Structure 1
């Protein structure tokens, strides 16, 4: 090969194309020339020229005979060139878009992988559709249990759902199921509290509170408060349903409803929360819980006392109400809630007010009668006066001559008869004070009557007026005093207070002050009838243990019968 190149250098000292070195045809021709003789070499240029001319002629003939083919070939070559150029441009564009295409392919691969995963999950979901449907229907099942009152099953189902959620808290569907179950949970809580606002037996209360405890919505203290609150709503509803057309019936029904239902609530509370008074309290929590219960009882009793105080204003017959209330308080003393002492001031105040109002009405009625009464030409009637040996507990017949005094006594006797049915010792001073004031008003009215008509009074009228004043001072006032002692016997009262009758008289307990009563009209009375306080005192104290008891026995029925 090196000789071949050297030979080419000798033949073409001015240089030759580099591709000749690798062209096999040129190499074969050069090697062939090396085998020629000199003569052949001399003739070789001419042969080559002759062969070149022949080839040229042949080419020309070929071109002439196949010019169409050459033209078509040229056109085809030109078209191919343009097509190749276009292809080259598109290839360049393709090469520039290949990175983007690779990215798109990668994205497609990723998406197709996700699609395959979703398809796999969907296939798995389809195969587990029944189990998934059961899980998805758990909230609906919870609502069905609650609506049907199957709270036990609802509690177990809620616990199961929460257990599943704790294991698979990363799954969104379980979070949604737990939220729906919690909504149903609140509905169940509302239904249980609503049931506590109804009339329930002890087993039912135990069952409902047991459900509330298992729900763990309230602490123990909050559960007690909620129980008392709901049962209080039910009690208030029962009390609101009592008709108020008849206040006596309303108060009677209120006492019965409050006593029965409040005792039931108390029994239910103690059975449910097991507050044993003899068991040791653990910490301040138990103490607070006991305080909560007794404060609630106190509040309910206070509400009852307010109702009692309001309704007593419209009730005339108090003795039956008092008996029911005392039985109410006595029944609650068995559970340590005796409140009878709180009712006593209400009844005594109401009895005192009723008595004062009735005596005031009797006094006003007397004043109205006195406006129509006149002493002009008053003639002494032929009335058979009672002797001292006759029954002194009968109303004085001397009052029949003066109808204002007789009617006043009749009204007072009616009031005292009502008081005698229920006469608390605590109102004795109010009774005496009210009668004292009323009699003082009457004495002043007699004085006014005399001042108005003294100019027109005749001798007979003056005598009649004197008899009227004497009848008031010597008959009416002492008789009312005796009636007071029938209701409040001094001996009994002194025995209860641990004092003597003499002490009662000195302090004016159940004793009228006769001198103060007749003071406004003292100048109208004859001197011989001025009351001797020492005699009156001796009469009251005499036969302390026997005389008063006998007096009460004799006059007991007279007060009820006299009008």
Structure 2
């Protein structure tokens, strides 16, 4: 224990030693007190009492003098006390709210961190906005290329977009752009195929097929078939535009259009799809076992079948068979250059139509004769015995004797018209049918003459009977031989025999190019006067001489 503490215990009875132990003024006073003498120490209590009285008086005087200040100080202290209490309450409340505030600060820090990242992203986006705008405008740029027909640029742009999408598959904007580009890709495919359905040149076809190959949508066989389908649409469109007013012009134009357009399509196909084994395009074929020629030849076969259908439908309505046949034969010969000569397939079709037309014309002539003979009568009519004229200058001149009997004359005119139409295009294959049709028609004429005789012979006078005999003789001696002569003009027996490798007598036995007169006059033979049958060989020789004169 120090001296100072001991002194404080002596002076203060140990009650307040701790309070004044560290007081500087006490320490200084004690140090000063230690320097006093005894006399001064004895006087020191009195001096302290006097000084205390003086201080008390001064305090009282100060209180009286400054009582207002003390009152204000007291009030201020009181107010400060209340404010300190309020502050203490606020501080307590603050201490309660500090954890919430701390949590909110943490949340704000996290949010502000995200906002900061977004700000950085926006700043980076703003800095690269030009490049981003270019990427966003890729679909619009591709559509612009498509509108301008810049297909090479479209291919490059599509490849670039797919590369971006493949590199960044998780970025949605690239996925959207790739989807838009795929839609434009399909539009380009439709646009290219639409161009193939129009009248395009070979260089344009080469360009379109080259682009379709680079698009890698179709395999090589599919591409070939798609090309033929598209060009077939163009061909059908050309056929639909042909006017249908005149059957001959319509069919002729159809044949010409099919020939020209089909040949152009095949030329384009062969130029684009080179099937040479040394061609650089052969490696494109995925399956080496596929015969690429089957595609084009099957398509050509379908087109030729469609052409035959058109021909079979329209051929019966035409008037000039020979011109149509010339067109078709030229069509077939031109296609022989590409290995598709179909001329032999058209022969039966034309032969059938010619035969039907000939048969119909002969039947019409027979029906017309039947109408005329029903109105014709020999009763009460004068038929003067006029000497029949012969024309040695023109052997093909119809007999003048037929003019006395207008049904026979008109019938012969109709038959001559039919034979003249046949002469322009007379197939050898129907010679037997031609002869049989004419023979049946002549048999019908013979039956009609017998019917006339049966109806009127009871009323015949001598002149009427002579006139009927003259009618039958005109039919037998003039009409039938003249028709036989016309048949031999069209189908010369010598040429037919040469082609068949037989003799003329063999033709006669088989009734090839020869009418059977015995069958024709079988119904009226008993009404004809007896007459020596001429030698058929002599008649044929006469016909040969006439043919030579006609040819010369």
Q: Aligned partners of 1:472 and 1:266: how far apart in 2?
A: 58
Higher relative contact order (CA 8 A, sep 6+): 1
Q: 2:257: which partner in 1?
A: 257
Partner of residue 334, structure 1: 337
Q: Distance in 1 between matches of 2:483 and 2:530?
A: 22
Q: Rate the CA distance shift 1:492–1:410 in 2: closer, same or farther, 3 A.
A: same
Per the TM alignment, residue 297 of structure 1 is displaced from its structure 2 partner at its CA by: 0.9
CA distance in 2, matches of 1:453, 1:76: 169
Task: Identify if the C-alpha distance between structure 1 residues 17 and 422 changes in structure 2 by more than 3 Å, giving closer, same or farther.
Answer: farther
Provide the rounded CA distance (Å) in 2 between the counterparts of 1:366 and 1:68.
165
Verify the 8 A CA contact 1:235 1:262 in the aligned structure 2: yes
Structure 2, gaps ≥5 residues long? 10-14, 35-46
Pick one of 525, 534, 537 that aligns with 2:527.
Answer: 525
Q: Displacement, 1:419?
A: 0.6
Match of 2:244 in 1: 244
* Worse-matched range after superposition: 275-284 or 548-557: 275-284
Tell me the distance in 2 between the aligned counterparts of 1:234 and 1:515: 60
Structure 1: 5+ residue runs without aligned partners?
A: 10-15, 36-46
413, 419, 424: which is aligned to 1:421? 424
Shift of 1:251: 2.6
Instruction: Choose which of 373, 384, 400 in structure 1 pairs with 2:376.
Output: 373
Aligned length: 542
Change (3 A) 1:429 1:523: closer
| Contact map agreement 1:491 1:548 (CA 8 A) in 2 | no
Checking the alignment, whether the CA contact within 8 Å between 2:197 and 2:233 is kept in structure 1 is yes
State which drifts further: 244-253 or 341-350: 244-253
Whether the 8 Å contact between 1:378 and 1:464 is mirrored in structure 2 is no
How much has 1:439 moved relative to structure 2?
Answer: 2.2
Q: 1:444 aligns with which of 447, 460, 467?
A: 447
Does 2:232 align with 1:232? yes
What displacement does 1:253 show? Answer: 2.6
Alignment-derived partner of residue 399 in structure 1: 402
For 1:17 and 1:228, the matched residues in 2 are separated by 125
User: What is the aligned partner in structure 1 of residue 211 from structure 2?
Assistant: 211
Provide the C-alpha distance between the structure 1 equivalents of 2:218 and 2:269, rounded to a whole number of angstroms.
16
- Taking the aligned partners of 1:98 and 1:153, their CA distance within structure 2 comes to 61
Q: Answer whether contact 2:449 2:524 (CA < 8 A) is retained.
A: no
Q: Is the 8 A contact 2:401 2:474 kept in 1?
A: yes
Deviation track 1:7-56 (CA, whole Å, cap 9, x = no partner) reads 999xxxxxx9999799979x99xx99xx9xxxxxxxxxxx9999999999
Structure 2 contact 373–407 (Cα < 8 Å) conserved: yes
Q: How does 1:178-189 map to 2 (within 5 A)?
A: 178-189=178-189
Check the 8 A contact 1:473/1:518 in 2, yes or no: yes
CA contact (8 A) 2:145 2:153 kept: yes
Partner of 2:500: 497
Is this contact kept in 1: 2:8–2:17, CA < 8 A? Answer: no
Please give the alpha-carbon distance, in whole angstroms, between the structure 2 residues aligned to 1:243 and 1:463.
Answer: 59
* Contact residue 391 and residue 397 of structure 2 kept, 8 A: no
Residue 392 (structure 1) shift: 7.6
d(CA) in 1 for partners of 2:286, 2:80: 107
TM-score (ref. length: structure 1): 0.78
**Contact 1:377–1:461 (8 Å) recurs in 2:** yes
Please report the TM-score for the alignment, with normalisation by the length of structure 2: 0.80
CA RMSD of aligned residues (A): 4.7
Kept after mapping to 1: 8 A contact 2:4/2:21: no
CA distance in 2: counterparts of 1:549 and 1:147, whole angstroms: 79
